[in-house]
Structure 1
Amino acid sequence: MIPVSIREIIDKRQFEHVYQPLWDLFNWSIFGYESLLRVKGINNVEHLFQKAREEGCLYELDFALLESSIFQFPFLENKGRLLFLNVYPSTILHHEFKPFLNRVIERFPYIKNRIVFELNETKEEEDIWGDGELKARIKLMREYGFYIAVDDVGKGTSALQKIIELQPDYVKLDRYYAQELAADEEKQKMVSLFLRYCDRQMALVLEGIEKEVDLAQAKLLKVPAAQGYLLGKPDKLT
């Protein structure tokens, strides 16, 4: 249970961000960070977003978190590295989203070609993905110099459809495929299948790497990028 209102959390900025690295497995270097939310006293932040949806201020929370993540991220100290930001499709469709992008770009002009919007998938917003307006907004985001990622791919059949229709810049493969990857030939075949589909048009990111043997297998399969506790836990950047 969330003890206070979401609007209070937003107004008082009662949250912070930690950043988890994404690794380029070909060059063995960090190429980006995913911003993750932390709120004192709340272990499962999904409950926070659910309450925001119930209170009718999900888009306000999303806007506040996006702007705060950008403000806190040390872009100058991480030259060339990308910042992955989670966002709900409903936020992208909100009438305030375009003005928000204009405001953020005006305030932080150096973020051009440095931000990856990672689309969150929820049951409540399943119908939105087929909305033609969403595709139009994503096209606009690309024109502004932003990139797109689809998360939890391979978790359900709908995610595959989203890849085909949206053609994201990054495809984040669900952590299921990383778990015991070295010992599971069927998972290896599926990862190879995703790699062939993505080819050079999309970058495949394997999430949930926790064991060295599975990382070695991912590199053997020529997975280009990975993320997981073995490679780096979410933490503050100084």
Structure 2
Amino acid sequence: MTACDQARELQRIIDQQLISTMFQPIVDCQKGTVLGYEVLSRGPSDSPLHGAPALFQAGEQCKQVISLEQACLLEAGQSCIRHGVSHLVFVNVSPGLLLPKAFAEDRLQSLLATNGLKPENVVIELSERYPADNPEALKARLTALKKRGFRIAIDDLGTGYSGLKLWSEIQPDFVKIDRHFIRDVDRDLVKKEFVRSVINLCERLGCRLIAEGVETVAELTLLRSMGIHLIQGFLLGRPNPFPTAELSALDNPDPIGGGQATSDAGYLGRYIVPLAPTASLGEAWQVLQSSPSIFALPVVDNDRPLGLLHKWRVMEVFSSTYGRALNETKPVSSLTAYDALVVEHDESLEAVSQSLLEDDLHYLKQHFIVTRNGHYIGLGSTRSLLRMMTRSRVEQARHANPLTQLPGNVLIQQEAVHRLQQNNPFTCIYFDIDHFKPFNDLLGYSKGDEVILSLARQLCTVFNGDSEWVGHIGGDDFVVFSDRLEIRKRCEEVQQLFALEAATRYPEAIRQAGFITGEDRDGLPRQFPLVALSAGIVVADSRAFGSAADLAATAAVAKSKAKKAVSGIQIVSNIAALNEMSDDHKTTLLA
């Protein structure tokens, strides 16, 4: 598209008012309601300038930004009225649109308040991405808008020019953290510390914080645990031509028992600026004095941790007679504890706890260093570790199956999501007891519970590796996750153990006959074989399965086929099995 063609197309869109408005929800997770909608502008669907980046880039290149923004604001106001939007409306405005003297507050109000949209329902988002040529004039214009009832938000915080300065001067109602700092915040200690600092500023300055670009449950869970309740992102709703939100995502509990967000050492790490071994004890003491919540400083050389400088050790030396004068110029290496525990970011909380207990029988270390591939990324505390492990065990107990105490459906879902996110191949095995109903009908539910408990013990005995995980879906259905791909022989081993143990539950006459007589689903008499175990095996990875729901559906298909197979085992290595099901069958399996 040439520059001339671009200019003509842009002018056509502005003159004919061909802008369309999209709505993306901003959700209050604490209340479980929609706070408001950000209105986003698009060009015509058949135009090269349909997408927002192309549309506004053309506006800049053709020096039509103000005219384009005016057209967008007018359509936004009209769209809100057409759809009966009663929530807050967030609109993007560049500093350039507010600064011209000819563009007074009355003009902005008329564009947005068409047919009754009130200023107090409008939040003006001022992006930090664009510089303000006249900050004082911009501040005066924003102050005047606030007096008229408009609310102000600073958008894209952390990406550009004068956000913090403007923040302190105009006291915005909302601050939106740019999506760059939210993406993978559950796995990035530096981003986590940035978010935490912004939370502290918001609390002190009395404004509300909105996290943009939230796309995963792990990100949402961490942000909620940090106290951020206003969320915007694809997880809760993509931009749509009409106002809507996906609030069901709020029902997902914290990903305890498998998600990176809560079960790995990286979650506990707090980034503290490390000391070089040549730094002086006087410099270290200044840091410790200025940060009362820090009780140890990591000593790092070329990103490789050497040890910890403990606050109590420095205080001990400095408090002696002439202690500070004699020692403050010495390097921190002279007091560094080189026996500090160092753990990788993906090490489990249980493993870290075990390392702490085994490290010294007489002294429990209060801190440990967290690394990624041997490079320092943060400092963890034993107190936080114990708190998180307690919380994890409480959550696991809450979501455990009441009979077997194995992880139930909620935790199974989380484990599946976690393994798919790792992008490493693994095996999912769906176990089911065949002919279990006739067994229950003949011998009673207490005997049935004994068989289920016996199977639970057998599964935990056979699948007991570090990378293996056993869950109880419910009734006589179990699931096993394993990093091992060659799993058939071990499934056969469980089948044999189960058959031998279950046979002892029957009376001798039935064991000799090899069947029992009972009623089928139609109430007709029928001979049923003794109980047996079927195993549907799925070799899985994120390339074959886009979601845990896809994996669950395929595992259910594999189990169904296993129940018909002579061996009682069926292996599926791709998602093709889903194509064999009707939509009704898929819905039933995923319900």
Corresponding position of 1:51 = 58
Aligned-residue offset at 1:102 = 4.7
Aligned-residue offset at 1:142 = 0.7
1:90 to 73, 96, 104: 96
2:226 to 218, 221, 228: 221
Alpha-carbon distance in structure 1 between the residues aligned to 2:235 and 2:157: 21
1:69 aligns with 2:73: no
Corresponding position of 2:25 = 21
- Answer with 25-34 or 160-169: which moved more: 160-169
1:116 to 123, 129, 133: 123
Contact map agreement 1:74 1:237 (CA 8 A) in 2: no
Alpha-carbon distance in structure 1 between the residues aligned to 2:209 and 2:113: 31
1:154 aligns with 2:194: no
Aligned-residue offset at 1:29 = 1.2
Aligned-residue offset at 1:120 = 3.0
Alpha-carbon distance in structure 2 between the residues aligned to 1:50 and 1:110: 29
Alpha-carbon distance in structure 2 between the residues aligned to 1:160 and 1:146: 20
Amino acid aligned to 2:95:
P
Alpha-carbon distance in structure 1 between the residues aligned to 2:83 and 2:62: 37
Corresponding position of 2:236 = 231
Amino acid aligned to 2:239:
P
**What TM-score comes out, normalization by structure 2 length?**
0.37
C-alpha spacing 1:71/1:198, structure 2 compared with 1 (3 Å): same
Secondary structure of the 1:113 match is: helix
Q: Deviations over 1:115-164 (max 9, x none)?
A: 01111344xx5242x52111111011111110111111122463222322
Secondary structure of the 1:126 match is: coil
% identity of equivalent residues: 28
Contact map agreement 1:73 1:237 (CA 8 A) in 2: no
Contact map agreement 1:88 1:121 (CA 8 A) in 2: no
Contact map agreement 2:37 2:88 (CA 8 A) in 1: yes
Q: Deviations over 1:181-226 (max 9, x none)?
A: 2222332222121111011611111111000011011100011211
Q: CA RMSD in A?
A: 2.3
Corresponding position of 1:186 = 190
Corresponding position of 2:553 = none
Amino acid aligned to 2:53:
E
Aligned-residue offset at 1:237 = 1.4
Aligned-residue offset at 1:111 = 1.6
Alpha-carbon distance in structure 1 between the residues aligned to 2:54 and 2:128: 15
- Answer with 212-221 or 69-78: which moved more: 69-78
Contact map agreement 2:128 2:160 (CA 8 A) in 1: no
Secondary structure of the 1:228 match is: coil
Amino acid aligned to 1:9:
I
Contact map agreement 1:59 1:90 (CA 8 A) in 2: yes
Alpha-carbon distance in structure 2 between the residues aligned to 1:211 and 1:163: 29
1:38 aligns with 2:42: yes
- Answer with 92-101 or 28-37: which moved more: 92-101
C-alpha spacing 1:6/1:97, structure 2 compared with 1 (3 Å): farther
Alpha-carbon distance in structure 2 between the residues aligned to 1:206 and 1:106: 27
C-alpha spacing 1:120/1:191, structure 2 compared with 1 (3 Å): closer
- Answer with 91-100 or 25-34: which moved more: 91-100
- Answer with 7-16 or 156-165: which moved more: 156-165
- Answer with 15-24 or 47-56: which moved more: 47-56
1:210 aligns with 2:222: no
Q: Which structure 1 segments of 5+ residues have no match?
A: none
Alpha-carbon distance in structure 2 between the residues aligned to 1:188 and 1:106: 39
Contact map agreement 1:20 1:232 (CA 8 A) in 2: yes
- Answer with 55-64 or 98-107: which moved more: 98-107
1:126 aligns with 2:131: yes
Contact map agreement 2:199 2:209 (CA 8 A) in 1: yes
What is the total number of aligned residue pairs between the two structures? 234
Corresponding position of 2:13 = 9
- Answer with 111-120 or 3-12: which moved more: 3-12
C-alpha spacing 1:121/1:50, structure 2 compared with 1 (3 Å): farther
Secondary structure of the 1:21 match is: strand
Q: Deviations over 1:49-82 (max 9, x none)?
A: 2332343332121111111101101488443x11
- Between structure 1 and structure 2, the one with the greater Rg is 2
Alpha-carbon distance in structure 1 between the residues aligned to 2:97 and 2:161: 23
Q: How does 1:130-145 map onto structure 2 within 5 Å?
A: 130-145=134-149
Aligned-residue offset at 1:35 = 0.7
Q: Which structure 2 segments of 5+ residues have no match?
A: 244-591
Alpha-carbon distance in structure 2 between the residues aligned to 1:3 and 1:56: 10
Secondary structure of the 1:232 match is: coil
Q: Deviations over 1:160-185 (max 9, x none)?
A: 22322332211110112211122223
Secondary structure of the 1:26 match is: coil
Secondary structure of the 2:120 match is: coil
